[in-house]
């Protein structure tokens, strides 16, 4: 899943759940994409942190947040 597809998934989840904060929406996205993508996202987070191991779900959520916030850009 590319970053653009991830952003679309995040945007759709946020539209469906407007009362949730960004981390809660990211957690919904991770749950929706399934276990294979969750492991992929977690692996990307661990590579970014230069770590060998970590908890899968929180690391996957962190990846989703990092992508969203990076593509969102700085806020004024």
H helices of the chain, in order, are 3-16, 22-33, 35-49, 56-72
Question: Is the pLDDT reported for residue 75 higher than 80?
Answer: no
Between 2 and 60, whose confidence is greater? 60
Q: How far apart are CA 49 and CA 1, in angstroms?
A: 20
Contacts of 17 (CB under 8 A, 6+ apart): 24, 25, 28
Question: Is the pLDDT reported for residue 73 higher than 60?
Answer: yes
Question: What is the pTM assigned to this prediction?
Answer: 0.83
Taking all residues of the chain, what is their mean pLDDT, rounded to a whole number?
Answer: 89
State which of 24-28, 44-48, 71-75 shows the largest mean pLDDT.
Answer: 24-28
Question: Is the pLDDT reported for residue 31 higher than 90?
Answer: yes
Token pair listed for 46: 């661990």
In angstroms, the Cα distances linking 33 to 10, 36, 50, 54, 74 are 11, 8, 24, 19, 27
Domain ranges in the chain are: 1-33, 42-75
């Amino acid at each position: 899943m590319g970053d653009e597809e991830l952003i679309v998934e995040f945007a759709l989840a946020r539209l469906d759940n407007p009362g949730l904060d960004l981390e809660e929406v990211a957690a919904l996205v991770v749950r929706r994409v399934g276990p294979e993508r969750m492991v992929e996202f977690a692996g990307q987070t661990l590579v970014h942190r230069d770590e060998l191991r970590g908890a899968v779900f929180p690391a996957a959520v962190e990846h989703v947040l990092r992508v969203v916030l990076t593509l969102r850009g700085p806020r004024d």
